[in-house]
Structure 1
Amino acid sequence: MAAAQLTSVTCSVPAFEGLKSSTTSYKVSSVVVSSPFRRTLTLKSTRGLVVKSATTVAPKYTSLKPLGDRVLVKIKAAEEKSAGGILLPSTAQTKPQAGEVVAIGEGRTIGEKKVDIGVKTGTPVLYSKYSGTEVEFNGSNHLILKEDDIVGILETDDVKDLQPLNDRVLIKVEEAEETTAGGLLLTQASKEKPSIGTVIAVGPGPLNEEGVRTGVPLHPGNTVLYSKYAGNDFKGTDGSEYIALRASDVMAVLS
């Protein structure tokens, strides 16, 4: 019968001048297979393979100016502890969705009107989870993203104080049912994700073809039904669930 033995090796890729791939190391295991016929197949070790998700800007570049309607956001560090004080491993840390605007583009032109960026440098913001391009600049992690990918301005540590931008609305999610219609207690895994909530705040609305904000057809206090898999989920300091989504993802007002 053949036997296999795994040993650990690494591979590497060279760095680049200027903009270069930032790095995360991955181990590649070597395989040794032996058989009764004394034949052995071995994958030889090489130097470390290094792959990095962010783009690193070399120290010789001291300024980064976004173009058009893009903004540069310095990413807030991920939480390293749970609310109960338990130290979280890197794999369990929530990907940050908050940061501070450190540079802005010149805006964009709609029709014949020039529209400036709606946030200023120094503004603390929340942004969509999978938006933008990560950049390591001046030793810190940043994100270059479109202004429209910014969900809202948050000047406190509680998401209920979020000021939505553009056509987005902030909704406090209705709590999931704890029991079935027949009175059976539901486990956390079997609770249906709610798609009903109360509007907490609304943005100024999208821009029309003339560059004018048109507002949204919703108001704080409205109870609404929204698309189940839209938007960005957040948890408030009191444990309540919130969601920030586009007004077009709200399907109906309940009364």
Structure 2
Amino acid sequence: MIAEEKTDGGILLPTSAQTKPQGGEVVAVGEGKTIGKTKLDISVKAGAQVVYSKYAGTEVELKGSSHLILKEDDIIGILETDDIKNLKPLNDRVFIKVAEAEEKTAGGLLLTEATKEKPSIGTVIAVGPGPLDEDGNRKPLSITPGNTVLYSKYAGNDFKGSDGSNYIALRASDVMAVLS
């Protein structure tokens, strides 16, 4: 995936302002890690399509192609289809469908897109298997799909689904409350 150099309106963008892709295919993985006496394999395999954090990784040129070296912790989840709503989160990640922003104020004034308050409530679509404890065992998350949650306003990575819905992937620690 190559970032575009022009906007739809034809404005040239410097590299620093270009939108970089947040996904790609895994071409190789490391040997894993050891926690305590437990040896753990990497949770993604070569060939998997993954989504990663926006500013993660180190870009390298290898055999004429651009690649990104990532830590496993920078990978948000595995995407087996082209639609972000099917994301399978990894580790302590939670994938949420964001609630719709209010269209008007309590007094009845219509809000423009720019003035709408960014929602921080949504419905959990999927959760990762949980973080690893000090012995290398998975600690399941208490958050489950279907929960309505309140989350930190500036946390996570935002995505737009093919259905036009907004989604966010964040760490379970960024969920402040389970509302239902």
Partner of 1:109: 34
Pick from 79, 89, 95: which aligns with 1:154? 79
In structure 2, runs of 5+ residues without a counterpart are: none
* Counterpart residue identity of residue 243, structure 1: I
Change in CA separation of 1:227 and 1:125 when aligned onto 2, cut-off 3 Å? same
Q: Secondary structure at the match of 1:248?
A: helix
1:5-39: per-residue Cα shift (whole Å, max 9, x none)?
Answer: xxxxxxxxxxxxxxxxxxxxxxxxxxxxxxxxxxx
1:229-240 map, 5 Å: 229-240=154-165
User: Unaligned stretches of 5+ in structure 1?
Assistant: 1-75
Q: Does 1:216 align with 2:151?
A: no
**1:214 counterpart SS class:** coil
**1:176 CA drift (Å):** 0.6
1:42-99 CA-to-partner distances (Å, cap 9, x unmatched) read xxxxxxxxxxxxxxxxxxxxxxxxxxxxxxxxxx3336898xxx47656275210001
Q: Which has the larger radius of gyration?
A: 1
Per the alignment, residue 171 of structure 2 pairs with: 246
The 1-side partners of 2:121 and 2:10 are apart by 32
TM-superposition CA deviations, 1:85-135 (whole Å, max 9, x none): x47656275210001111111111100010110111000000000111111
1:138 aligns with 2:56: no
The residue type paired with residue 219 of structure 1 is T
* Matching residue of 2:98: 173
- The answer to whether the 8 Å contact 2:152/2:174 transfers is yes
- C-alpha contact (below 8 Å) 2:22/2:53 kept by paired residues: yes
- Alpha-carbon distance, 1:215 to partner: 1.0
Cα–Cα, structure 1 residues 93 and 158, in superposed 2: closer, same or farther, change >3 Å?
farther
For 2:26, give the aligned amino acid: V
1:188 and 1:118, CA in 2 relative to 1: closer, same or farther beyond 3 A? same
Higher relative contact order (CA 8 A, sep 6+): 2
TM-align CA RMSD: 1.8
Give percent identity, aligned residues only.
75
Residue aligned with 2:27, SS: strand
Distance 2:4 2:151 in 1: 29
User: Equivalences for 1:186-225 in 2 at 5 Å?
Assistant: 186-225=111-150
Map Cα deviations across residues 143-178 of structure 1 (whole Å, 9 max, x no partner).
111101100000111110000000001000011101
- Higher fraction of strand: 1
Residues 1:89 and 1:153: Cα distance change in structure 2 (over 3 Å): farther
Confirm whether residue 77 of structure 1 aligns to residue 2 of structure 2: yes
* Matched AA of 1:109: T
| Aligned residue-pair number | 177
The aligned residue for residue 54 of structure 2 is: 129
Preserved CA contact (<8 Å) 2:6 2:12: no
Whether contact under 8 Å (1:80, 1:87) holds in the other structure is: no
Q: How big is each residue's C-alpha offset from its partner over 1:186-238, in whole Å with a ceiling of 9 and x where there is no partner?
A: 11111111100000000000000111111111111100000011111111011
What letter is aligned with 2:76?
Answer: V
Q: In structure 2, what is the Cα distance between the partners aligned to 1:176 and 1:80?
A: 31
The TM-score with structure 1 as length reference comes to: 0.66
